[in-house]
Amino acid sequence: MEHFDADILILGAGGAGLRAAIAAAQSAPELTIALVSKVYPMRSHTVAAEGGSAGVVQSHDSLEDHFHDTVAGGDWLCEQDVVDYFVSRCAPEMVQLEHWGCPWSRKPDGHINVRAFGGMKIERTWFAADRSGFHILHTLFQTSIQFPSIRRFDEYFCVDLLTDDGRVQGAVMLSMSTGEFTAIHAPAIVIATGGAGRVYSQNTNGGIVTGDGMALAYRHGVPLRDMEFVQYHPTCMPGTGLLFTEACRGEGAFLLNKHGDRYLRDYGLGPAEPQPRNKFMELGPRDRLSQAFWHEERKGNTVTTPQGETVLLDLRHLGRAKIKERLPLISEMAEQFMGIDPAVAPIPVRPAVHYTMGGILVDINTASPLAGLFAAGECSSVGIHGANRLGSNSLAELSVFGRVAGEQAVAFAKAAGPARRSTQADAVEAKALALLHQKGEGERHAALRAEMAASMEKGCGIYRLSPEMRETCDTLAWLKRRLANVTLEDKSRAWNTDWVTAMELGFQLDVALAMAHSAEARTESRGAHQRLDGFEQRDDARFLRHSLAHYQGAAAPTIDYMPVKITRSPPGQRAYGALGEQEEAAREQTANQDTAHV
Amino acid sequence: MSDVMARTKTIELLVLRYRPLSDSEPVFATYQVPYSDDMSVLQALQSIKDTQDGTLSFRWSCRMAICGSCGMMINGDPSLACNTFIRDLAPHPVTIEPLRNFPIERDLVVTVGDFVKKIESIYPYIIPKAPKSIEDGEYLQTPAQMAAYESFSDCINCMLCYAACPQFGANPDFIGPGAMALLQRYNGDSRDGGQQARLDRIAGEDGVWSCTAVGVCSEVCPKQVDPANAINQNKTKSAFDFFLRFLRPGARP
């Protein structure tokens, strides 16, 4: 086995990992940063984010409004001190990306333009057409190239962490190209491996989004927080699940049922007006819109396609010129994949899994409870998304907290000194090789993956029932036992994707188990976690708390809870449309009265 | 992958296979794959891997033509597997080979590292013309200033243009169309002041002058980046730069 000594090890080279690497390289050029990714950095799934990234810039907008939209959007399960920090850092981070070359779309006067997004009261979403994630990722990757202290390990798959003496000491990588192992020893590790949406069958995620980092931390005793909150994005391609950005609606698109009705008016989001109005109708939050689809399907109001039931995303009234300027990527997708010109015909869409709100438990400094282990981006739960993430808060998150993670890792590495080498790395290699060569019972792991994904859709979907969640928990446990007896067809070492995907499935099953058990234990409805079995209401007395899933090896995870940090926004009624406007007015009146008293 | 839609028809795929330790040379393997009209070549390969032959290796991720992972030769043309559809190729057998002009590591997986080194070599980042603090806000860019570089920033690094380029095929050290497009993306950016360093980088024999203006790079680009245009712009600039050097005090061409 090869050995490499670093000061900081970053797992994942998407937006958060690259931002962390740059921050670490800038603040401590003398430290060696190992940046590991199972794909070349520009393939990371940040690349597929379309709509944009939040940051308050307009004079009639305020950090207070971004704070309140985020906290209410998360159904009050957000860490409010973290949200405060987050909203204050978004715009400076977006300017930083601009200085690094990100081609943000502009107004005619040359200033940055912003667009409307779901659940946001004022337009504050910075965008680069509808390729915002692509441009952020490429900007960060290309910017990172100028820092010689960043040593990349491209197409290296992390097999396990090394921990000793109560802290992290490094990790073991499999070079996908050669099939050989490398131990990277480092006193500080940043996990930035993204989400886990591939545990579901219809999802917007790339094949690499398999929850690796979440599972790695979890298996080493770090709790996964709020894993029951999984976001279904309401406008995705039926069959493949590919994403049609929320920016379609930000630019004015309508959602219609088979009668041509803007049905969202029937779900507390109206009134329906011809112009998009922030926090009304199509600009409601993702959880509410996906739930409305579920009801429309059961009412028989959806449009049947060969790929399943859909509603219609209508962009026709925007006109061809605006569609081409603001939404070129999704027009191309509609045309190539579905044969639809969105200037001429509406696009059939349906909800698909998009984002994991929960993740590795970290504090406002991105530090996990395991000394030396930090996490940022979708794999982490720093506490800004609560029970439902608002669109455009995740690209901002990876910049804001990627930077924090890089700087915190520097501080920790300097204080802790070099990592201790141990013999654990050999045991990790031996275990990975045992999987490669195990005789097993002849079963293919691909079959297990499909069963896992179908079971998650059934038991942990848009609406949830106890018996179905129970069944999913049981199915996942059974799949985990079967995975221990699969037989790999490919026994070779170079580019053995049979082997790597089997290890990914192991990660996925552990993350899925944390999701399903956390979901079953939360006997209330909040944000993206909605039940139909007698727990249809939010229950603040019992569940204004974060869930924590603890890994228990072969046994089911245990679930306990921690308090939510409430600083100044007590839980209120979460409403959109006309009712939301009333709530908002009442809140502002109270705030003004409070100010008057001071 | 759509499991909802019935796969009633079957397509024959001829896939070039190569395992470095056991195969002396690449050989075609034949697979029969049931398909529906919405199935991409990528989904067909996934279907083979998941149900017929777990040893087949290929790169993929986003499935929506933005991550740049799944470039391969499909019926002899450099293509992304995710946005090439079986319905457009059927009923004839489809041949699938790794991207031309690159060393094969395994099956459809080629070596990407040399291409990434070329990208790294052309200073692919803003070298600020007039440094500015974050507090001073963004640089202004008019729509015309954005138009000067924006299309070149859309390159997804899929390397199809390298597979199409006869010059790169003849000389693997040629900087190539993708890296030239990226160079022009920064040289055309009003915020940037690093043009001279980049022009110096491509003035040599493996730089911009290796291109013989065949133009197929732009034809195969799945994102309409037009690297041929980037190369042409830099030929003019490079020539101009060459003569300017005679005028600079102490400078040598």
Positive or negative torsion for Cα A531, A535, A541, A542 = negative
pLDDT category of residue B189 using cuts at 50, 70 and 90: very high
Mind giving me the DSSP string for A406-431? HHHHHHHHHHH-SPPP-THHHHHHHH
pLDDT value at B37 more than 50: yes
Chain A residue with Cα closest to B187 = A101
Q: What percent of chain A has pLDDT over 70?
A: 99
CA distance A264 to A366: 38
Mind listing the domains of chain A with CATH numbers? 2-49+133-231+355-423 (3.50.50.60), 234-352 (3.90.700.10), 426-563 (1.20.58.100)
Cα angle A166, A561, A69 (rounded to 5 degrees) comes to 110
User: Is the predicted pLDDT of residue B238 greater than 90, yes or no?
Assistant: no
pLDDT band at B247 (very low <50, low <70, confident <90, very high): low
Q: A304 and chain B: CB distance < 8 Å anywhere? A: no
User: In this predicted model, what pLDDT tens digit does every residue of A397-413 receive, in sequence order?
Assistant: 999 999 999 999 999 99
Chain A residues closer than 8 Å to B22 by CB: 492
The per-residue pLDDT for range A437-494, each reduced to its tens digit, is 999 999 999 999 999 999 999 999 999 999 999 999 999 999 999 999 999 999 999 9
Which pLDDT belongs to residue B248? 61
Cα B200 from Cα B241, distance rounded (Å): 9
pLDDT at B113: 97
Best mutation target, B135, B153, B158, to test chain A (most A CBs within 10 A): B153
Distances (CA, A) of A576 to A78, A244, A391, B156: 18, 22, 15, 38
pLDDT tens by residue, B42-70: 999 999 999 999 999 999 999 999 999 99
For residue range B65-104, list pLDDT tens digits in order.
999 999 999 999 999 999 999 999 999 999 999 999 999 9
Q: Any chain B CB within 8 A of the CB of A238?
A: yes
Outline which parts of chain B fall under CATH 3.10.20.30.
Answer: 9-110
Entry field: residues in chain B: 253
**Closest listed residue to residue A81, CA positions, set A255, A154, A89, B56:** A89
pLDDT of A499 over the 50 cut: yes
Q: Mind listing the pLDDT tens digit for each residue in B200-223?
A: 988 887 888 778 778 999 999 999
Instruction: Give the mean pLDDT of A50-78.
Output: 98
Confidence class for position B234, pLDDT limits 50, 70, 90: confident
List the single residue in B with minimal CA-CA distance to A238: B2
Is the pLDDT confidence value at B253 over 50?
A: no
Among A60, A111, A73, A131, smallest CA distance to A395 is for A131
Q: Considering only CB atoms, which chain B residues are within 8 Å of A332?
A: 65
Which residue do the tokens 């020539």 mark? B239
Global ipTM: 0.96
Cα A564 from Cα A226, distance rounded (Å) = 11
Query: pLDDT, tens digit, for every residue of A137-164?
Result: 999 999 999 999 999 999 999 999 999 9
When CB atoms are compared, the residue of B116, B139, B189 closest to A40 is B116
Q: Where does the pLDDT of residue A286 fall: very low under 50, low under 70, confident under 90, or very high at 90 and above?
A: very high
Q: Which amino acid is at A498?
A: D
State whether B109 and A39 contact (CB < 8 Å): no
Instruction: Provide the chain A residues 325-344 that lie in CB contact (below 8 A) with chain B.
Output: 329, 332-333, 336-337
Instruction: Identify the CATH homologous superfamily for domain B9-110.
Output: Beta-grasp domain (3.10.20.30)
Looking at chain B, which residue has its C-alpha nearest residue A450?
A: B50
pLDDT reported for residue A346: 98
* A240/B2 touch (CB, cutoff 8 Å), yes or no: yes
Average confidence score pLDDT of chain A = 97
Contacts of residue A348, defined as CB under 8 A and 6 or more positions apart, other chains included, come to A238, A303, A305, A310, A311, A312, A313, A338
pLDDT at position A198 is 98
B19 in reach of chain A (CB within 8 A): yes
Q: Quick one: fold of B113-247?
A: Fumarate Reductase Iron-sulfur Protein; Chain B, domain 2 (1.10.1060)
**Shortest Cα–Cα distance, B164 to chain A (Å):** 21
- Apex A211 CA angle, A206 and A214, nearest 5: 150
- Express each pLDDT in A8-18 by its tens digit: 999 999 999 99
Strands A373-375 and A188-191: parallel
| Percent of residues, chain A, with pLDDT higher than 90 | 96
Chain B residue numbers with beta carbons less than 8 Å from the beta carbon of A333 are: 64-65
pLDDT tens column, A522-531: 999 999 999 9
Nearest CA among A68, A80, A56 for reference residue A580: A68
pLDDT tens for A585-597 read 988 888 778 766 5
Among the ranges given (A90-99, B4-13, B149-158), the one the predictor scored with the smallest mean pLDDT: B4-13
| Cα dihedral A567/A570/A575/A578 (nearest 10) | -100
Distance, CA of A136 to CA of A53 (rounded, Å): 10
* A108, A110, A498 member nearest B54 (Cβ): A498
Q: What angle do CA A552, A556, A558 make, to 5 degrees?
A: 70
Q: Are the beta carbons of A217 and A191 closer than 8 angstroms?
A: yes
pLDDT higher than 80, residue B241: no
Query: Do the bridges between strand A167-175 and strand A156-164 make them parallel or antiparallel, or are there none, so unpaired?
Result: antiparallel
Indicate the pTM of the whole model: 0.97
Helices A15-27, A393-416: crossing angle, 10 deg rounding: 40
Residues forming CATH 1.10.1060.10 domain(s) in chain B: 113-247
